[in-house]
């Protein structure tokens, strides 16, 4: 297990396992859980750490934040895949725009996190849709679900 703190993002990441992340699930407004292909947690991300936990708790776990200035974030944050679905563009295009600084975003490990207000500003208010993808065992009964395509094995003659 590894704990890292990103002062620019004011985010704490608790890496539980060293496996690739398949998707990110927003548990609350300030907690995201990255899941592996098997659906088990890989990384727990806590956003707005200084406001939620305070400096004293972070020092207790060995993270001294010193005199870092921070601001409260009230904007919704979306991972690259979710943001791409919201605006109807590819994940590669969003990543490119973030790297070039055209869309306000921040790095979280290998992924980008996009602010909803930044997406609305760049693409316009009519382009940004509400998320409709649902995950879980009961997702197929919930309607409006994008199910992953299963690979059909090739037939041999």
* Tens digits of residue pLDDT in 11-41: 878 888 888 888 888 888 888 899 988 888 9
State the average pLDDT over residues 134-139. Answer: 46
State the average pLDDT over residues 92-118. Answer: 86
Backbone angles phi, psi at 106, to 5 degrees: -135, 155
> Is the CATH number 1.10.1660.10 carried by domain 74-133?
yes
Burial 51-72 (b: 16+ CB within 10 A, else e): eebeeeebeeeebeeeeeeeee
Question: Of 12-26, 62-76, 98-112, where does mean pLDDT reach its minimum?
Answer: 62-76
What's the rounded Cα separation, in Å, for the pair 124 and 126? 6
Mean pLDDT, all residues of the chain: 74
- Here the tokens at position 35 are 């899941």
What are the residue boundaries of the structural domains of the chain, listed by start?
A: 1-66, 74-133
Q: For residue 60, what pLDDT is reported?
A: 59
| Better pLDDT: 54 or 48 | 48
Q: For residue 61, what pLDDT is reported?
A: 55
């Amino acid at each position: 297990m590894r704990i890292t703190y990103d002062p620019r993002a004011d985010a704490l990441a608790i890496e539980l396992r060293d496996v690739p992340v398949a998707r990110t699930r927003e548990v609350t407004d300030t907690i995201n859980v990255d899941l592996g292909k098997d659906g088990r947690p890989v990384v727990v991300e806590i956003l707005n750490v200084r406001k939620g936990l305070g400096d004293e708790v972070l020092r207790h776990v060995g993270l001294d934040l010193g005199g870092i200035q921070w601001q409260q974030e009230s904007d919704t944050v979306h991972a690259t895949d979710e943001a791409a679905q919201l605006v109807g563009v590819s994940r590669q295009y969003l990543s490119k725009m973030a790297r070039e600084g055209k869309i306000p975003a921040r790095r979280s490990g290998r992924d980008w996190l996009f602010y909803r207000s930044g997406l609305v500003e760049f693409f316009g208010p009519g382009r940004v849709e509400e998320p409709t993808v649902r995950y879980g065992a009961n997702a197929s009964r919930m309607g409006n679900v994008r199910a992953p395509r299963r690979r059909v094995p090739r037939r041999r003659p």
